[in-house]
Copies of this chain bind each other. A is one copy, B any other.
Amino acid sequence: MGGAAEPPLPIPFTMVGCRNGAAMSIVKVAAFAVSLDGYAAGPRQSLENPLGVRGTELMTWFFPTYTFRTAVIGGTDGEKGIDDGMAAAAMANNGAWILGRNMFGPVRGAWPDDTWKGWWGDTPPYHVPVFVLTHHARKPLEMKGGTIFHFVTDGIASALRQTKAAAGAKDVRIGGGTATVRQYLQAGAIDEIHLAVSPVVLGEGENLFAGLNLPQLGFTVAKTVRGEGATHVVLRKG
């Protein structure tokens, strides 16, 4: 996994900003929830607290939506308001995903065995290839419903290349966690960020913004959408 000293990605990112013309593949962060004080996860992640302590409070806008209830937990109903519209848009056109290792699970260090298969049960909500950043090699893991977890040990640039190849004409979605999003932002690799700003303060945890200058990285706010449970903000380059 790439550290702060890793050189800029050698990949040109010219396909930026415009989603109105012909379909074009972008690298995006979507439906990424942050607190008012900038935390995208609480502290002390564990098996009991996948999003860290109090982290689920960031997602209260998402849990009642039709998209969450049908696409993530296999239900048959849910609310179809503004928040759901943003959640559905975030799930659209994702050709492949990148996840940080902590987003994949609470296991640290070398994999003790192949028992851990993600937080999501037998049928994860991805249905496409998912590239997991890790320092520890592991065989690809094929799940039900089309999700295949690939474990990438040679850095974020390599992971992005593989993910773009897998995504084809569709988008690359960087799912998180915070450290992974920050690394790709700092590398200049992300075209669009959709933040769901939740009306809570956490006070501690994984801060998305600390030390990160989004305008300097080229981002401006392209759109603000006020949902029932969160304020959605879309930032784009250019």
Q: Which residues of A pack against B, CB within 8 Å? A: 36-38, 195, 197, 199-204, 209-210, 212-217, 219-221, 224, 226, 231, 233, 235
* From A36, A195, A214, residue with most partner B Cβ within 10 Å: A36
Q: Is the CB of A37 within 8 A of B209?
A: yes
Compute how far the CA of A137 lies from the CA of B195 in the bound complex, rounded to whole angstroms.
46
Q: Is the CB of A200 within 8 A of B226?
A: no
Q: Is the CB of A203 within 8 A of B224?
A: no
Compute how far the CA of A95 lies from the CA of B101 in the bound complex, rounded to whole angstroms.
53
Given contacts A36-B221, A38-B38, contact A203 B197 (CB under 8 A): no
Q: A213's contact among B195, B197, B203, B224, by CB below 8 Å, is which?
A: B203
Compute how far the CA of A50 lies from the CA of B205 in the bound complex, rounded to whole angstroms.
33
Q: Is the CB of B203 within 8 A of A216?
A: yes
Residues of B within 8 A of A37 (CB): 38, 209, 212, 214
Given contacts A226-B231, A231-B226, A231-B231, contact A36 B197 (CB under 8 A): yes
> Which residue from chain B places its CB closest to the CB of A231 in the assembled complex?
B231
Compute how far the CA of A221 lies from the CA of B224 in the bound complex, rounded to whole angstroms.
21
* From A212, A216, A219, A233, residue with most partner B Cβ within 10 Å: A233
Q: Is the CB of A215 within 8 A of B201?
A: yes
Q: Is the CB of B36 within 8 A of A195?
A: yes
Compute how far the CA of A226 lies from the CA of B230 in the bound complex, rounded to whole angstroms.
10
> Which residue from chain B places its CB closest to the CB of A229 in the assembled complex?
B224
- Apart from A199-B233, A200-B221, A201-B220, 18 more pairs, CB < 8 Å: A36-B195, A36-B197, A36-B209, A37-B38, A37-B209, A37-B214, A38-B38, A38-B209, A197-B197, A199-B224, A201-B215, A201-B235, A202-B215, A203-B212, A203-B216, A204-B216, A226-B226, A231-B231
In the assembled complex, 17 residue pairs joining A and B whose CB atoms fall closer than 8 Å, in A order, are: A36-B197, A36-B221, A37-B209, A37-B214, A38-B38, A197-B231, A199-B221, A201-B214, A201-B220, A201-B235, A203-B212, A203-B215, A203-B217, A204-B213, A204-B216, A226-B226, A231-B231
Compute how far the CA of A221 lies from the CA of B203 in the bound complex, rounded to whole angstroms.
12
Residues of B within 8 A of A235 (CB): 201
